[in-house]
Copies of this chain bind each other. A is one copy, B any other.
């Protein structure tokens, strides 16, 4: 199990079958950096065009279409003191015709990260209540994925079966995400770190910031999945990406059923009865072209009926 230290020189704003920057074996760990959504690095300097630029892609040796790539985020750490957000809730999550009651169009607000207290504060609001905000950090990666099927390259502004810009606030340090492999090597991309983010990314940004990231890639040979799945200490999860949110919910629910049947040794009947009274949903991105819904099942409940991941 090698531990690679990779310094990126190129970035991509579409996730596709780009030339890999590094080839790794299953179980290898990679430490690298990501620029912020606008393309600025740890010094705050813009070094590549904005739009969730991705570090990578990383080639996972042996991965072929029909396999699954598992990524465990070992470390997700903002690496500078200033992040930014926009400051207005987006029109697509507001009633038709609603207008915010302020004119100021500061589309980019700075936030200062207090690493000692592990909080973030919006800068320049001393005169307003929100200036007193000390929001606990919860670093997450907004956008990551593998090369999509059919020779596609898909914008990092959106998401689909390959992952992409899901902006799910539980994609934090410690989570393992499973992604369907569509091309040889899988071609893992990662970027768009957020120091913290509300559900839905409803202003169109989390607290956008550059990251130090460490992650481990594993190959699940011959394992085929349809949509991203994930597991953390408390839940088994399945992700659907689509518009409307209804359809994202359909994908997430169906994939969670498959996840519980495939990996937890449960029969279909048990899964349906269980889901009805115990499923949980979390809302990922509801700002981008595709919205994200996450279906979840508590591991504690699964374990209580003897269903453990196989």
Query: Interface of A with B (CB < 8 Å)?
Result: 12-14, 16, 51, 85-98, 100-102, 104, 109, 120, 122, 125, 128-130, 132-135, 149-157, 196-203, 205-207, 242-247, 249-251, 253-254, 257, 261, 265-283, 286, 289, 291, 301, 304-307
Task: Identify which of B14, B87, B199, B243 contacts A243 (C-beta below 8 A).
Answer: B243
Given contacts A96-B90, A154-B152, A199-B280, contact A305 B130 (CB under 8 A): yes
User: A198-B275, A277-B135 known; A157 and B153 CB under 8 Å?
Assistant: no
Check A206–B157 contact: CB distance below 8 A.
Answer: no
12 examples of A-B residue contacts, CB within 8 angstroms: A14-B152, A51-B150, A89-B253, A92-B250, A102-B269, A120-B277, A129-B266, A133-B301, A149-B155, A198-B275, A202-B279, A246-B286
Task: For residue A4, give the distance in angstroms from its CB to the closest CB of chain B.
Answer: 26
Residues of B within 8 A of A257 (CB): 89, 94
Q: Check A276–B128 contact: CB distance below 8 A.
A: no
Alpha-carbon distance between A132 and B308 when the two chains are bound, in angstroms: 14
Complex Cα distance A182/B12, Å? Answer: 17
A254 touches B94 (CB 8 A): yes
Most buried by B among A93, A198, A199, A246: A93
User: Which residue of chain B is the closest to A269 with respect to CB atoms?
Assistant: B102
Between A151, A253, A261, the greatest number of chain B beta carbons within 10 A of the residue's beta carbon is seen for A253
Give, as a whole number of angstroms, the nearest-CB distance from A18 to chain B.
9
B contact residues around A265 at 8 Å (CB): 129
Is the pair B283, A125 in contact by a Cβ cutoff of 8 Å? no
A239: shortest Cβ distance to chain B, in Å? Answer: 14
Q: Within 8 Å CB of A89, what residues of B?
A: 253, 257, 272, 275-276
